[in-house]
Amino acid sequence: MFSFIPFIGRGYLEKHMNTTTDPKIKTLQFNSPVPDIRLDKYLTQILAQFSRAYLQKLIGQGYILVNGQRTKANQRLNKVDRITVELPPLPVRPLAEPIPLAIIYEDEDVLVIDKPAGLTVHPAPGHPSHTLVNAVLAHCPGLAMSNELMRPGIVHRLDKNTSGLIVIAKNDFAREYLAAQFKSRTVTKGYLVLVKGRLSPEQGVIEAPIGRDPYSRQRMAIVETGKEATTQYRVRKYLDAYTLVEVTPITGRTHQIRIHLSAIGCPVIGDPTYGIKSAHLNRQFIHAYRLGFRLPSTKQYQEFTSPLPMDLEQVLEYLAQNA
């Protein structure tokens, strides 16, 4: 059933938001003509300056309560529900740092960067600096901001220990244009991955929902209540008891490639969390070698590629010599 959610402006906020003695805590009294709205969807109307993802994060961390109780982002609200929102202090904008960048393409809207392994994409609690964002800010001080100040220009991510191609938006128009392509799954993403075992059949599709591991909140896992996740793969080369695989993730779940390959009995080499450690590699063998999208400036599709870094090439050479 289609439901219409009206725009909620400043006057509505002033009428329905009561400030407690603590100026950080705002109490919202739900009173909308639209019944049965998800909590996170409703809050994006009330607190439009924040992204839905950020509000979901606050709900999960207990900053947002319904009737004094912790809840989930998908809770359906009633008119009698009372919502308490505590807004934690906003982080400051990351500082620019002169970290070298391998820029393979740049125009007025985007940067395409070949990210090295070991470089975190954006600052986070406990890791406030020495990230790709800090490096890009030094190159492009006017980088597009987002509702989450620690991720200016970021429209997708790579794991810290994954190398390869990442696109950065330089302005708000480019960020929205790129984000729409990722959302509609029209962006081409290709990864080269080395796994333990002889992957068979040589081409296939892995479909298994991914969510937070109920036994370890620091990990993701295949769980029935998780979000849909689909990964396509094609074998590039067999190296004795190993397989070099070209992987195309259709969805973009956290740690998706690592989890899906492990689930079919072919764990990623060098991945201590979901795969197996390697005596020849101190990081996971995953390289984002291909990235294609429509450029915001021309609307034309363009594809970029990145060769395997030396550390990954050396592992393949070693396995080929000792097969």
Q: Which of 159, 213, 240, 311 is catalytic?
A: 159
**If DSSP codes are grouped into helix, strand and coil, which group holds residue 145?**
coil
The answer to whether 172 is a known catalytic residue is: no
DSSP for 252-299 reads --TTHHHHHHHHTT-PBBT-TTTSB-BTTBSS--EEEEEEEEE-TTT-
From CA 118, how far away is CA 163, in angstroms rounded?
A: 8
Cβ burial 297-319 (10 Å sphere, 16+ → b, else e): eeeeeeebebebbebbeebbeeb
Q: Residue 54 in contact with residue 148, Cβ under 8 Å?
A: yes
Q: Is 79 exposed, middle or buried (0-12, 13-18, 19+ CB in 10 A)?
A: exposed
Q: What residues are annotated to the active site?
A: 159
